[in-house]
Chains A and B, each alone.
Chain A
Amino acid sequence: MNATSLTAQPIASPHAHGGNSVSRTMFRVQIALVPATLYGFWLFGWPSFFLWLLTILSCLGFEALALKMMGITRIRRTLLDGSALLTGWLLAMTLPPWAPWWVAVVGGFIAIVVGKQVFGGVGQNVFNPAMVARVALLVSFPVPLTQWVYPLPLTSLAAPDFIDGLRIFLTSLPQPDAMASASLLGYTKTELSRGIDLLQSLAGEHAPVLSWIGARSGSFGESASLLILGGGLYMLACGIITWHTPVAVLAGIAIPAAIGHAVDPTHYLSVSAHILSGAVMLGAFFIATDYVTSPNTTTGQIIFGIGIGFLTWVIRTWGGYPEGMAFAVLLMNALTPVIDRFIKPRILGRDRKGKPLDIPESKGA
């Protein structure tokens, strides 16, 4: 910090800078994402790597373009703060691993331009940009966004090599050998609508235990719940996030799921199936904890988290889409200003109603 910026700031007390910054926080979140991402590359092969790369590049590209069009000169510095990179990374984690290239580009545009820069850039957006893009893509292109592949680990013979991976990524032709699999949530929803109850439909390949290690079809980054959980715990240990939001999200989905499953196991998925499948882990630790779009107070964060978890469960159970995490996050994002309006932190020196506290008589006088 140089002298001019010091004089420009109103200084009330001697404050020490904690050394924290936007880029440092973003960097730590990215470290937390690395294990699940590498595992995703291994599980889904080269196409998923190209998808991840292009999603991030398009986010950075659209960020630079938007800043340039708005006449802002700090383009390089804004790009290097890592927020656009993280948005792209999170978006890539939620996409089907073999999604074609244009999904990445359109997603980057929606996330950065519509989801973020329209509202005024980093720190100003009402909705989580990655989730805005995810929902817009899902609503716009239902077919490519719901084509899941069987996990084909890079070491297996059937996995596409580098060139084949590029071809799959660029041509966006359906791959009949690989594209046969539905995610657990989609599968159970289809089977239920066919009148087959959960006890029969879950007997086969979709054992919840597979979700722990991610050996199942699903989005690129959210397959391995365990690794996402590990990344989340790392962020907790670093102090980037607090426990309130993730715990509230998990409780918000686990409690109704437990009640439903206890009442009628043939129609309601079990707690473990709910928590370990889809985007719950990613959403609880990486999406719902977004500083910008979540409430400021811990009480508010708990309400916010429970709302996300509960809405996810409601959408999964009765909604038209098999997965509801992104919708739930957006709905609660919209409620965040209301939550912040009613639950305010106590101002220093005032009580909760905003009245100044009585100054205690000093004993010496």
Chain B
Amino acid sequence: MSDNYGSIMKEGLWDQNVVFTQLLAMCPVMAVTTSGTNGLGMGMATTAVLLVSNILVSMIRHTVSSQVRIPVFVVLIATLVTVVDMAMNAWMHELYKVLGLFIALIVVNCAILGRAEAFAVKNGVMASAVDGLAMGLGFTGALTFIGLIREFLGSGTLFAQASNLLGPSFAFLEMKLPGYGGALLMILPPGGFAILGFLLAGKRVMEQRIAARAKDAADGAAPAAA
């Protein structure tokens, strides 16, 4: 498992997706996904922390005894989050004002400590880096997707204020549906839970269909071979 980077990527992006399968990190998922831009920004900050923390944890995994590993990991993650927090404050100040507290709260994001515990302490540096990146990208994708749906239903825009995050050259992403007032509920937490619920159901249905199709193909292939 640890050397097969392709399967690690697939686990992080789909099979073990932080949001849609592990249902971890629900606090940022509900709180910041009011727009696609916020979701993308939060996801990228988390990905950066996750990638570096996985690498560092994997590097020190033989030096730190298992009794003190949790405090050490927490201190590591807190340091990284502080760096990201200050960097965003300096270079993406508008977005930082929106995400605010939730950047600092990446420290207690269970997905990060979870990956350190579940993967990085048991695997090599390269594999841990791939895992951190895959998990982070899966998280970013989920957050952006939920954010886009909620933003579209709730305020009729797509990627509003994307130029705050990505620079003025990405202003073409910003779209607005004219004449649509928006359903306020979708911006509020209940809308987030409802959208997440429908997406989870959709993912389950998709996986069941894929499994059924694979089974059909296997059943179809077996008699043909026999």
Contacts and interface: CB of A to CB of B under 8 A. Distances in A.
A34 interface: no
B185 A140 contact: yes
A140 B197 contact: no
B218 interface: no
B105 interface: no
B181 interface: yes
Contacts of B83: none
A225 B15 CA distance: 56
Nearest to A114: B194
Interface of A, secondary structure class, is helix
Contacts of B183: 106, 140-141
Indicate the size class of the contact surface on chain B.
under 10
Nearest to B153: A140
Interface in B90-144: none
Contacts of A136: 185, 190
B184 A141 contact: yes
B165 interface: no
Contacts of A204: none
A6 interface: no
B184 A140 contact: yes
B211 to A, nearest CB: 16
A139 interface: yes
A114 B188 CA distance: 16
A56 B197 CA distance: 25
B186 interface: yes
Which of B181, B185, B186, B188 counts the most chain A CB atoms within 10 A? B185
A114 B181 CA distance: 22
A226 to B, nearest CB: 34
A142 B181 CA distance: 10
A238 interface: no
A122 interface: no
Contacts of B181: 141, 143
Contacts of A140: 183-186
Contacts of B197: 118
A109 B194 CA distance: 13
B184 A139 contact: yes
A136 B188 CA distance: 11
A143 B183 CA distance: 11
A141 B183 CA distance: 6
Nearest to B197: A118
Interface in B172-211: 181, 183-186, 188, 190, 194, 197
A141 B190 CA distance: 15
B119 to A, nearest CB: 34
Contacts of A139: 184-185, 188, 190
A114 B185 CA distance: 13
A139 B183 CA distance: 8
A114 B184 CA distance: 16
Nearest to B185: A140
Interface in A200-241: none
Nearest to B205: A69
A174 B161 CA distance: 31
B189 to A, nearest CB: 11
A136 B186 CA distance: 9
Contacts of A118: 197
Which of B188, B194, B197 counts the most chain A CB atoms within 10 A? B194
A59 to B, nearest CB: 18
A142 B194 contact: no
A141 B187 CA distance: 12
Nearest to A144: B181
A142 B184 CA distance: 8
A136 B197 CA distance: 16
A119 to B, nearest CB: 11
Nearest to B188: A139
B194 to A, nearest CB: 6
Contacts of A114: 194
Interface string A138-167: 011111000000000000000000000000
A118 B185 CA distance: 18
Nearest to A142: B184
Interface string A172-211: 0000000000000000000000000000000000000000
Contacts of A143: 181
B53 to A, nearest CB: 37
Contacts of A142: 184
A304 B174 CA distance: 49
Interface in A115-145: 118, 136, 139-143
Given A136-B190, A140-B184, A143-B181, 8 more contacts: A114-B194, A118-B197, A139-B184, A139-B190, A140-B185, A140-B186, A141-B181, A141-B184
Ranked nearest first, the 3 interchain pairs of A and B with the lowest CB-CB distance are: A140-B183, A140-B185, A139-B185
18 contacts: A106-B183, A114-B194, A118-B197, A136-B185, A136-B190, A139-B184, A139-B185, A139-B188, A139-B190, A140-B183, A140-B184, A140-B185, A140-B186, A141-B181, A141-B183, A141-B184, A142-B184, A143-B181
